[in-house]
Structures are given as C-alpha cells and as structure tokens.
Structure 1
Amino acid sequence: MNKINELFHKHYALISYLIFGGLTTLINIVTFVVFQSYLSVNYQFANVIAWFVSVIFAFVTNKLWVFGSKNTHVSGLIREVLSFFGFRLLSLVIDQLIMTIGVSVLHLDASLVKLFDQIFIVLINYIFSKLFIFKKS
C-alpha cells in the first residue's frame, strides 16, 4: 500500500491532469455537439465556442488541483492567464486544422473527428502546462 501511495504522490500531476483533462475534454465535446448538432452552428464556430468554455474550466482546475500553483501575486496571475490562454490558442489553431482537414477535406463526421482530435490536444496541452505555464519557480 505504501508503494501505491508513493507512486500516486510521485505522479499526482499526471494523474490529476488525466482526470481533469478528461473532464475538460468531455466539456469540450459536449459543448461542440450541442452547438454543432443541435443548434446547427457551423462546426468551426462550434469548435471555438467549445474551446472557450473548456479553457475556462481547464485553467481553474489546472491552476488549483493539477499543478497546485500557489501564485497569488497579480503579476504572476496575469502571467499564468496570458501564457495559459496563449498556449491554448496555439492548440486551438492545431485543433481547427485537424477539424478542417477531417471534416472539409476528408468529409468525415465532425463529432468523430472532434473525439480523435481531442486525444492529441490533451497531450500537447499537458506538455504546454507542465513545461511553460505552471512550472515550479
């Protein structure tokens, strides 16, 4: 039991990122499907709406529970918010490219492309967050 506890604490950021990343992905996909399939919003615009909603959720959960950022100074918070949204904008560009190629070029189902696209996006967002945004001082 000690070994399991030790492994959990050693890999806490990764484990919690997978949990909250999974929830973020679920929020992203559900928001996308609601706007694209039920409200008939263009898939690219629905993707941006889903991105915005999920990024807000992701910032809060990543800051508080995944990477445990204790940064409370205004300048530090501004740096975290700007870098978080900046890197998430970069992943949005990649997300939009995958969606456009999958839906407009390959003529695949938008919801299916979105599902596979999110696997890649979760991985690159973890790398961005771990190495650049919530890095230990």
Structure 2
Amino acid sequence: MKLKKMYSKYKDVLAYLVFGVFTTLINIITYWLMAYKLHQIVMVSTIVAWVVAVFFAYITNRKWVFHSECDDIKGIVKEISAFFSCRLATGIVDWLCMFVFVDIIKINDIAIKTLANIVVIVLNYIASKLIIFKHK
C-alpha cells in the first residue's frame, strides 16, 4: 500500500523522467545524425535536434505527464506558445553550452550534449509544472 501511495504521489515526476530520457535520446540521436551522417556544423545540428525533441516533448508532456485539459483552440494555442517559449529559453542554455564547451573549449560534443540535456530537463520540468501545464 505504501508503494502505491508513493507511486500516486510521484507518477507525474516518473512519467516526466521517462519521457525526458526519450526526449534526450531523440535530441542526441538527431544531433548525431545531423552532425555525423549529414555532416552539418555543430550549431545547425544542435538547432535541428532541439526542434525535433521539443515537438516530441510537447506531445508527450501534454498527454501523459501533465494531463492537459485544454480542449479549445485558444487554450491550446496559449499552451503551445508557453511551452515553446520556455523550451526556447532552455534551448538557448543548450546552444550556449554547445557553443562554449564544444566550439570554443573543444570538449567532446556528445558528452557536453548529454550534460547540457540533464540541466535542460530539470529546467523544463520546473517551467512545465509552474507555468505551462499548471492546473487551475
């Protein structure tokens, strides 16, 4: 019974972590494909990976993590705008990490991409919980 109560209390966090891992994998795989298979520069690869990951994150966060109840166009547009604005802010954190640590300092790009995504996941959860999908 204690385990069930704990699961009930933290199910959104657990779902967010699971989909956060998938979002991170999508981001890293897309980055790798762009950089290593399509031979794009670091920043182009980073931006494309971010866009793909944010689309995936919105769909999963809306439906399975924060259980959005918005069903009218105005509410959904507001929700999407807030989601993409917050993700743009954390995307800038990702881009800056890649620029500074990969382009300038020359640290391994995949390692920095992974670490930057951990920071971004935490920031995104806070924004989603407190701003985007807050229940009235």
Q: What TM-score bracket applies, with the shorter chain setting the length?
A: over 0.9
Counterpart mapping for 1:32-111 below 5 A: 32-111=31-110
State the distance in 1 between where 2:35 and 2:122 align. 24
Flag as ranges the 4+ runs of structure 1 deviating above 6 A: none
CA offset digits 1:54-98 (Å, max 9, x no partner): 111100100000001111011110110000000001011111111
Structure 2 gap segments, 5+ residues each: none
State the distance in 2 between where 1:107 and 1:80 align. 38
State the distance in 2 between where 1:16 and 1:39 align. 32
TM-score of the superposed pair, with normalisation by structure 2 = 0.97
TM-score of the superposed pair, with normalisation by structure 1 = 0.97
Over the matched positions of the two proteins, sequence identity in percent amounts to 35
Across the aligned residues of Structure 1 and Structure 2, the Cα RMSD in angstroms comes to 0.7
The aligned length equals 136
CA offset digits 1:91-116 (Å, max 9, x no partner): 11111111111112211121111011
Structure 1 gap segments, 5+ residues each: none
Specify the alignment match of 1:112 in structure 2.
111
CA shift, 1:8, in A, is: 0.6
